[in-house]
Amino acid sequence: MASRGKSETGKLKQNMEEQLDRLMQQLQDLEECREDLEEEEYEETKKETLEQLNEFNESLKKMVTGNMTLVDELGGMQLAIQAAISQAFKTPEVIRMFAKKQPGQLRTRLAEMDRDVMVGKLSRDVYTQQKVEILTALRKLGEKLTVEDETFLAENVTATLSQFEKITADLVGECGVVPLQLLLSAGTLLVLWLSGLLILAALRLSTCDVIFLLTFLALLLFFFFLLTAVLVLI
């Protein structure tokens, strides 16, 4: 049964990735053909694609609500889509790699950009924009950045990107409501169970044994709520 559920989740993830790939390809094709289009036509086509992305994001949001397996599998995709919709990220390929949780590919692209800007194949403005996107994606994926990269990010962050950071913090908060509630409920049950056990034990054990059990209970609760705090902050 578990295997079947895993298989269905895998198929759903693949289907979602294919839909996202299609939308990202539309954006990429649009950027590549921009010089051949009238400005009004370009803006209208881009608006339509972003609206499709927004619809896709809404359907994705409904799917993952209350389903922690899907939150784990598709959470990165939600963040990437939000980055595209808010236009904090403007590079389709970076958005695609962000959505698929591909930190290795993101770092490879960054290394290629470093070489290209050195030899003049990439303008400094484009380099800065895309590097900020890549570093932000890496950080959102839990990758450790160097002090130099953190400094670069802080110096080049845009207002749009700052707003994206706020939106995604709210999004993560929404996704974290269910597991947090489950953790607190489990914690309450744990406290009640251990308290009952302690009362029963106190009727039979010596004072030293009771003190030992109290200490063990305090440590167990400490680590439980420490874990809860870590999950909330991630």
DSSP 87: T
Dist. CA 70–CA 15, nearest whole Å: 13
Dist. CA 92–CA 78, nearest whole Å: 15
Q: For the residues 212-226, what does the mean pLDDT come to?
A: 68
**Count of C-beta atoms within a 10 Å radius of residue 191:** 14
* Model confidence, pTM: 0.65
Question: What is the model's pLDDT at position 175?
Answer: 45
Question: Is the pLDDT confidence value at 121 over 70?
Answer: yes
Name the more confident of 103 and 192.
103
Residues 6+ apart with CB under 8 A from 135: 110, 145, 149, 152, 153
- Measured in whole angstroms, the distance separating CA 57 from the mean position of its chain's CA atoms is 14
Q: Is 145 helix (H, G, I), strand (E, B) or coil?
A: coil
State which H helix or E strand residue 221 sits in: helix 207-233
Question: What is the model's pLDDT at position 202?
Answer: 58
User: What confidence category does residue 182 fall into, taking pLDDT thresholds of 50, 70 and 90?
Assistant: very low
The angle formed by the CA atoms of residues 49, 137 and 9, to the nearest 5 degrees, is 70
Question: Is the pLDDT confidence value at 57 over 80?
Answer: yes
pLDDT tens for 61-108 read: 887 776 666 666 677 788 888 888 888 888 889 999 998 889 999 999
Q: How far is CA 9 from CA 2, 179, 234, in A?
A: 11, 19, 23
Question: Is the pLDDT confidence value at 44 over 70?
Answer: yes
Question: Is the pLDDT confidence value at 185 over 60?
Answer: no
Question: What is the model's pLDDT at position 151?
Answer: 93
Of the candidates 78, 37, 53, the residue with the CA atom closest to the CA atom of residue 168 = 78
- Measured in whole angstroms, the distance separating CA 155 from the mean position of its chain's CA atoms is 23
Question: What is the model's pLDDT at position 176?
Answer: 43
